[in-house]
Amino acid sequence: MQCPCSILVFSGKRKSGKDFVADVLVKRFGVEICQILRLSGPLKKQYAEEHGLDYKELLNASTYKENYRAKMIKWGEEKRNSEPYFFCDKTVADADINLPLWIISDARRITDVQYFKEKYQDVVKFVRITATDSVREQRGFVFTPGVDDAESECGLDIGVTWDFIINNDNNNAIFESDLSQIIDYVNGVLPR
């Protein structure tokens, strides 16, 4: 199996800025080097197909998605219980194997971490994106029972050794310092 030079697997709470950090890295490295892969993409697509919903609206940070989030989480958990790597396999199957850097922007469960450790152990690094609750609230976070206390939000709070931690609390100096560690690492493994 051909694989990229590096895979960065991101985790973090809702509104911590996982997509923001992924987008920053794509801008810094370029789309000819890296791609963002979302484990939630195949989940949302399958859920939309099975429930007659608008897939594109489920991809956005919208009220539409929030209206279905709890049910989608429950459905996804049931799917994972029967096939733990189902959504990881679907995501990787859609990846461009010719790009040397993959950014998985939304790992949420220990099975997500296990999948990438098992299949890509030589090239994977795990990245935790953090932000305080007050900063997350400024970005629109509101604690939702059944969502924010579920495995999809808390499953990676313990038990994972993070290779990198990005503090995304609106302090640009700290953010850039944390980000530079990832950039230096990636530059060290990309082909010249």
What average pLDDT does range 1-9 have in this prediction? 84
For the stretch 66-84, pLDDT in tens is 888 888 888 888 888 899 9
Q: What is the mean pLDDT of the chain?
A: 92
DSSP string for residues in the chain: ----SEEEEEEE-TTS-HHHHHHHHHHHH-TTTEEEE-THHHHHHHHHHHHT--HHHHHSSSHHHHHHHHHHHHHHHHHHHH-TTHHHHHHHHTS-TTSSEEEE----SHHHHHHHHHHHTTTEEEEEEE--HHHHHHTT----TTTTTSHHHHTTSSS---SEEEE-SS-HHHHHHHHHHHHHHHHHHS--
User: Is residue 53 in a domain?
Assistant: no
* Domain of residue 169, residue span: 6-39+85-189
For the stretch 96-147, pLDDT in tens is 999 999 999 999 999 999 999 999 999 999 999 999 999 999 999 999 898 8
Number of structural domains the chain divides into: 1
Q: How confident is the model at residue 14 (pLDDT cuts 50, 70, 90)?
A: very high
pLDDT at 170: 93
DSSP string for residues in 158-174: SS---SEEEE-SS-HHH
User: Is residue 141 in a domain?
Assistant: yes
User: Is residue 66 in a domain?
Assistant: no
What average pLDDT does range 150-154 have in this prediction? 86
pTM: 0.89
User: Is residue 128 in a domain?
Assistant: yes
User: Is residue 168 in a domain?
Assistant: yes
What's the order of all strands across the beta sheet hosting 124-130? 34-37, 101-104, 6-12, 124-130, 164-167
pLDDT exceeds cutoff 90 at 164: yes
CATH code: domain of residue 139: 3.40.50.300
Q: How confident is the model at residue 169 (pLDDT cuts 50, 70, 90)?
A: very high
pLDDT exceeds cutoff 80 at 61: no
pLDDT at 2: 62
User: Is residue 56 in a domain?
Assistant: no
User: Is residue 72 in a domain?
Assistant: no
pLDDT at 178: 98
Which of the residue ranges 39-53, 87-101, 128-142 has the most confident prediction, judged by mean pLDDT? Answer: 128-142
Contacts of 137 (CB under 8 A, 6+ apart): 15
User: Is residue 45 in a domain?
Assistant: no
Beta bridge partners of 164: 127
pLDDT exceeds cutoff 60 at 1: no
pLDDT exceeds cutoff 70 at 152: yes
